[in-house]
Structure 1
Amino acid sequence: MDHSGHGMDMEMDLPPFTLGRGLEFSFDAFFLFGCLAGLALYGWGVFRLRRRGDSWPLGRTIAFTAGVLSIALVMCTRLNDYGMVLFSVHMVQHMIISMISPILLLLGAPMTLALRALPPAPRGHKGPRELLLALLHSRYMRIVTHPAFTIPMFIASLYALYFTPIFDFLMGSRTGHIAMMLHFLAVGLVFFWPIMGVDPGPHRPGYVMRMLELFAGMPFHAFFGIALMMASEPMIGTYAHPPASLGIDALDDQQWAGGIAWAFSEIPSVLVLIALVYQWYHSEQRAAKRADRAADRDGDRELEAYNAYLASLQARGQ
């Protein structure tokens, strides 16, 4: 199959895969410049806040930076090259860019940062901040972040893509490959955003419901991995004939890919549960503080009323 110069040439010059070779830098203009732009824009937002005296949590900056670097790790190294000819390496790319990167990016709260950093437009005009607000409150965003959409899309990104000719078609060109990876990232973002995202969104169910949404999608990753591991023949045409220079059997490679998909279903669950418990705890703390402040105000009003009553008694006595 022709990979528009991105896959066939590598079949001739890729040595057997090792972790060291996989982490070597490999230029990919789209993702490299995209990652640099993302870091630059985020840094600009933090700089604007700090310059005017506002604070921004360091943990959010670290999380967002780690999320961008995780994308660069799988798309701007030779992992991307090997992922064109080895199913197992591609599955590592898929799992990271669809499940690890989105969680880290969402913990960085980029939308909240943008809304705080962007200046409001003059009255009667719409600037970037107003357009972003309109998008966040749009009907489109309510649809794509609703569990009735996100969970089926999360599942379909596995079964409808890998078990149909769509995958081989996309892998046949560089543009298709980029589009597929962007799709994985986007699906991960809209799936995890209502569950544990820090940014404001159209759907914010209770914490128990968020956990149910998380566990509604994760088992399908495990089933997908098991299906790959149990198959008796290669199921993906793109990876049916690995280059002989790699010395890897296609069925063994597919079983490794299935094991990776199965194992990765556990990692995001743990990360998201930790984030949810942390957010839940702080939500309860904020609610308790609000209740304490309200009780203090009620107590002050009662004291004032009691003092006024005493004063009225004293006035009547006089």
Structure 2
Amino acid sequence: MTTSPMPPLTWQAALTTWQLALGWDLAVLLACVGYLLGLRRLRRAGQEWPRRRAACFAAGLVSIVLATNSSIAAYSSAYFSMHMIQHLTLIMVAPYLLIAAHPLDLWQRAARDPERVRSVLLSRPVSVLTNPMTGFLLYAVVLAATHLTPFMQLMLQHHVLHHVEAVVYLVSGYLCFLAVIGLEPTRWQRLSYPLRLAFLMFAMAPDTGIGVVLMGADHVLFPDFARMSPDGTAGLLDDQRLGGAIMWVGGDGLMALAMLVLAVLWIRSTGPQAGFGDWLESARRSALSGTAGEAGGDVIAESADVDADERALADYNAMLARLNGRTSGGDAR
């Protein structure tokens, strides 16, 4: 690993600086081939696969390549802020896109023995691994261990740890968000939308807390960035605070984006007649039933299998009969 300072980070350098990450590139290539083979097998079986899922998978792989081969990776050992951009790309952006591509669903549907794959995905070890709380704990521990301990200093001194960190980011992000933003055939695929939204709000805490700590530090926590920084030790503290802001605002922003997508999917899943309108309808029927019960009307004394709309109409008629009875009584007096 070279320890000579990087050239100043300009727009030209940001667009033209690239490095070869052979291990990552090979992994991306294998993942791409595996996904394409799955699509090919589905097509031969006459099954359809949404194009948007394939597009998400391609975008996820591209984001990994950018995070490990482009100037983001080249300058991640020179600027803490650039390291944080790489971090968010690997722990949130790439996992979001890969999960949206449904690779586990594709694996099950394209397998020669789908039931065997299904049994694996529903097995106890996989269920524990894909449990949202397992993913969250791993996510929180990884963030704290790589930013609030001497690990960052060791990573800057031993480049192999940089690749280990990147793998851990990608895996922890994937496991953390798999059951929350995905609909993969695991034990946790039926989590309710309110629970998913609550989980994402809860998951903002590590990014916010660690980001605030990094922004509020009054001294440089990772002085070894000066070895490759074109500015030396100058500006390290400001760059560290910028990295903390990126972690806080960027991390919470990406969480909020996922929450927005989930909210839209929740609204769509309820259908045009459900949601808030359905709640109002339930309240109206309850009020009518109570009113009819006070009148003692026999109109709603129907069997339990009467259609809900017919019961509502009967309740309404009973209320009118009650009001009409009161009016008639008042006239007679």
Structure 2 counterpart of 1:260: 246
Matches within 5 A, 1:153-172: 153-172=138-157
Q: TM-score, normalised by structure 2?
A: 0.75
Structure 2 residue 54 is matched with structure 1 residue 61: yes
The residue aligned with 1:194 is 179
- Higher mean C-alpha displacement, 175-184 vs 14-23: 14-23
Indicate if the aligned counterparts of 2:77 and 2:83 stay in contact, CA closer than 8 A.
yes
Q: Does 1:214 align with 2:206?
A: no
For 2:69, the equivalent position in structure 1 comes to 76
Aligned to 1:173: 158
Query: Residue 190 of structure 1: CA displacement?
Result: 0.8
TM-fit CA distance, 1:145: 2.5
Matches within 5 A, 1:1-318: 5=1, 7-8=2-3, 11-12=4-5, 14-24=6-16, 25-120=18-113, 132-203=117-188, 204-239=190-225, 241-243=226-228, 245-246=230-231, 248-285=234-271
The offset of 1:87, in angstroms, is 0.8
Measured after TM superposition, the shift of residue 220 of structure 1 is: 2.3
Taking only the aligned residue pairs, the percentage that are identical comes to 27
Q: Are residues 141 and 279 of structure 1, via their aligned partners in 2, closer, same or farther at CA, if it must alter by over 3 Å?
A: farther
Q: Note the alpha carbon deviations across 1:250-302, whole angstroms, 9 max, x for none.
A: 111101111110121233223312332343245434998xxxxxxxxx99xxx
User: What CA distance in whole angstroms lies between the structure 1 residues aligned with 2:55 and 2:162?
Assistant: 29
CA distance in 2, matches of 1:167, 1:99: 20
C-alpha distance in 1 between matches for 2:229 and 2:267: 54
> Which amino acid in the other structure matches residue 22 of structure 1?
A
Distance 2:75 2:262 in 1: 35
Say whether the 8 Å CA contact 2:111–2:117 is kept in structure 1: no
1:130 offset after TM fit, Å?
Answer: 6.5
Structure 2: state its 5+ residue gaps.
275-304, 307-333
1:68 deviates by 0.9
Instruction: State how many pairs are aligned.
Output: 273
Partner AA of 2:10 in structure 1 = T
1:265 is paired with a residue whose SS is helix
Is the 1:242–1:249 Cα contact (8 Å) retained in structure 2?
A: no
CA separation of 1:259 and 1:75: change in aligned 2, threshold 3 A? same
Residues 169, 130 of structure 1: CA spacing in aligned structure 2 closer, same or farther, 3 A cutoff? farther
Larger RCO (CA under 8 A, 6+ residues apart): 1
Counterpart of 1:291 in structure 2 is none
The alpha carbon displacement at 1:112 in A equals 0.7
Structure with max Cα Rg: 2
Tell me the residue number matched to 1:125: none
Is the contact made by 2:95 and 2:174 (CA closer than 8 Å) also made in structure 1?
yes
- TM superposition shift of 1:242: 4.6
Q: Decide whether the 8 Å contact of 1:163 with 1:236 is kept in 2.
A: no
Distance 2:106 2:179 in 1: 18
Q: 1:40 to 1:224 in 2, by over 3 A?
A: same
Residues in 1 aligned to 2:120 and 2:164: alpha-carbon distance in whole angstroms: 22
- The answer as to whether partners of 1:15 and 1:246 remain within 8 angstroms in 2 is no
How far has the Cα of 1:218 moved from its partner? Answer: 0.8
Change (3 A) 1:44 1:253: same
Q: Following the alignment from structure 1 to structure 2, what is the Cα–Cα distance between the partners of residues 134 and 173?
A: 41
